[in-house]
Amino acid sequence: MVLLETEGLSINFGGVAALADVSISVQPGEIHGVIGPNGAGKTSFINAVTGFVKADQGCIRFDGADVTGLAASSLSAGGLGRTFQHAELFGECTLLENVLTGFYRHQRYGLLAAVAGFGKAARIERQTRKQAAGLLAQFGLADLAQHRASDLPFGLQKRADMARALAAKPRLLLLDEPVAGMSEGEADETAASIKQLARELDITLVVVEHNMRILMSLATTVTVLAQGRVLARGRPDVIRANPEVIRTYLGEDA
């Protein structure tokens, strides 16, 4: 049983191969780490899997179904969530509003109920507010719920991005450098909440990360990308011992 599987995924940007023949399979329940130096194709991988960029070749299967070429919004509606390297929060909205927006698909009321305002819509809004506040609290953002997103430092925005992505209740969540811009202490804290939430909510994770120490502590399986290709894959301790990985990646930055 495989939850997410890519086969021969390739993307070219004007002759430059961002991804070349990348095949990765993610088991349900695991935390799958993807590492690689800058330009290795990590973000391209997330973009391709979540439908933000169309792959030139290869196919993507999610939960047994071929989802190659589907639009990003229908993929996320199908349970495939993601976060962004640069957080991409709705800057003029408060953190609470950001997370509330994440619940869009799960708030089942129509336009007429919204216009009326009371009754069904009001009841669902109240419930959602409680859940959104809970998510913010789990990332230590409860006190900042009413702050404008763009006023906050980058590290906090990254955490809010994760809370917002979780609001959409994905079954598989792809995190793009979740601890970027955080101090070591904050990164440890965030990694701990990620691990705990993934277990509690029964979510499978794909974590793209620069921070080797954090990734190795989080991941149960690791894939190493270099220049768009899969260099190695395996358990974190095996990867750490792989001489080729040490040469191209660990050697310069760990």
Partner 1 sequence: MRIVIPVIAFAAVSSVPLFATSYYLYLAELAMINVVVALGLNLLCGNGGLISLCNGSFMAAGAYGTALLTSEAGLSGLAALPAATLLTSLLGAILGYPARRLSGLYLALVTLGFLELVQIAIEEYPDITGGIRGLKVARPAILGLSLQSETALYLLVAALTAFAIFAAWNIQKSRFGRALDALRQSPFAARSLGIPVARMKPFAFALNAAFAGCAGGLFAMVTGFIDPTEFGVLESLKHITFIVVGGLGSVAGSVLGAALFTALPEFLRGTNEYSELVYGLILLGTLLFFPRGLAGLWERLPALPLQRAASKEPVHGAS
Residues at the contact surface with partner 1, assessed by CB under 8 A: 50-52, 71-74, 76-77, 81-84, 88-93, 97, 100-105, 107, 109, 111, 114-117, 121, 125, 140-141, 143-144, 146, 152-153, 156, 164-165, 167-168
Minimum CB–partner distance for residue 102 and partner 1 (Å): 5
**Contact (CB, 8 A) for 184 and 160:** no
Minimum CB–partner distance for residue 152 and partner 1 (Å): 7
Minimum CB–partner distance for residue 105 and partner 1 (Å): 4
Q: Please, which residue, 5 or 125, has the CB nearer to partner 1?
A: 125
Q: Please, which residue, 13 or 104, has the CB nearer to partner 1?
A: 104
Q: Please, which residue, 37 or 181, has the CB nearer to partner 1?
A: 181
Who contacts 16 (Cβ-Cβ below 8 Å, separation ≥6)?
Answer: none
Q: Please, which residue, 90 or 195, has the CB nearer to partner 1?
A: 90
Minimum CB–partner distance for residue 197 and partner 1 (Å): 17
**Contact (CB, 8 A) for 21 and 58:** yes
Q: Please, which residue, 136 or 245, has the CB nearer to partner 1?
A: 136
Token readout for 23 is: 């095949």
Q: Please, which residue, 35 or 173, has the CB nearer to partner 1?
A: 173
Minimum CB–partner distance for residue 151 and partner 1 (Å): 9
Minimum CB–partner distance for residue 55 and partner 1 (Å): 17
Q: Please, which residue, 23 or 90, has the CB nearer to partner 1?
A: 90
**Contact (CB, 8 A) for 23 and 230:** yes
Minimum CB–partner distance for residue 115 and partner 1 (Å): 5
**Contact (CB, 8 A) for 95 and 149:** yes
